[in-house]
Structure 1
Amino acid sequence: MLVLLIIFMITAPMLQQGLDIDLPVASSGEPQPSEENEIVLTVKRDGLIYLNQTAYALDALREKLRAIYANRTRKDLYLRADASVPYGVVVQVMDAVKQAGIVKLGMITQPLAEEQ
């Protein structure tokens, strides 16, 4: 487990361009304003979990979220999960978010393409 954490810590800075995921499509929802201090949790198709641009194991993520949100007045977070990620993995991540005390979880999806 420690070896994986070290690997994540070494490779995470190399992933600064953004995380390539295939978002699920949804016909409902409203665009959210982009704020510099918003926190985005990403689950890639291979199951790796990123908090903004830094990779975390599930247990370490829970503790990091607790530390971040301990002093924040806004207790919200946005979740981007690849469409091919198994439902069980997404549920585990959502559970970790809830255990960290985050009360509002927004799901980021891709808008449904309008037919012409």
Structure 2
Amino acid sequence: MQVSGSEKKGVAQPVMNVTPLVDVVLVLLIIFMVVTPLLNKQMWLNLPKKDEDAKNEPPPPDADKPVVLTVDEGGVVKINQTVVERGELRERLRRIFAARSDQLLYFDAADEAPYGIAVEVMDIAKMGGAKGIAILTEKPGG
């Protein structure tokens, strides 16, 4: 920094050098850019508490059975234990939901089921008329 009129001969004038500061900031920027994609992504899931006091009465025999869509380890898709090809899944679900008052679909995927197929099946179910998809946390009937 120099101020005119205050120059003294033989006295060192202070000069601001910002190069090291810029270098450090750029290195930190690069570190954050590399580390950010490696952070774990989390999905929070709030499950309702199990009601222990509820009576476990069987439903009446004429009640509609729920629609359960399952994907097993091999990627085989089933609707209520009936094997369905993925190509005809959308139309089959559309017909099922047209005859029902509720458009609720229960979805269950095996632990070893391919993730991509499970998500694709849920997308097809949404296009097939399912207004809500309930993901099962316990095996049906158990």
Q: Which has the higher strand share?
A: 1
Structure number with the bigger relative contact order (C-alpha 8 A, sep ≥ 6) is: 1
Give the structure-2-normalised TM-score: 0.53
Mapped to 2, the partners of 1:27 and 1:72 lie a distance apart of 28
Given candidates 70, 80, 91, the residue that maps to 1:63 is 91
Q: How do 1:21-40 and structure 2 match up within 5 A?
A: 28-30=47-49, 37-40=65-68
User: Could you say if the C-alpha distance between residues 96 and 30 of structure 1 is closer, same or farther in structure 2, counting changes exceeding 3 Å?
Assistant: farther
SS of 1:66 mapped into structure 2? helix
Give the structure-1-normalised TM-score: 0.64
Mapped to 2, the partners of 1:30 and 1:71 lie a distance apart of 32
Mapped to 1, the partners of 2:128 and 2:49 lie a distance apart of 26
User: Could you say if the C-alpha distance between residues 84 and 29 of structure 1 is closer, same or farther in structure 2, counting changes exceeding 3 Å?
Assistant: farther
Give the match for residue 81 of structure 2. 53
Identity among equivalent pairs (%):
34
Deviation string for 1:40-89 (max 9, x for gaps)? 01100011011001101111111110011113110001011001112211
Unaligned runs of 5+ in 2: 1-44, 51-55
Q: How do 1:8-19 and structure 2 match up within 5 A?
A: none
Q: CA deviation at 1:27?
A: 8.2
User: Could you say if the C-alpha distance between residues 39 and 30 of structure 1 is closer, same or farther in structure 2, counting changes exceeding 3 Å?
Assistant: farther
Give the match for residue 110 of structure 2. 82
Mapped to 2, the partners of 1:81 and 1:73 lie a distance apart of 25
Q: Considering only CA atoms, is the larger Rg found in Structure 1 or Structure 2?
A: 2
Q: Match for 2:103: what amino acid?
A: K
Mapped to 2, the partners of 1:30 and 1:53 lie a distance apart of 28
Aligned-CA RMSD value = 2.7
Large movers: runs of 4+ above 4 Å: 33-36
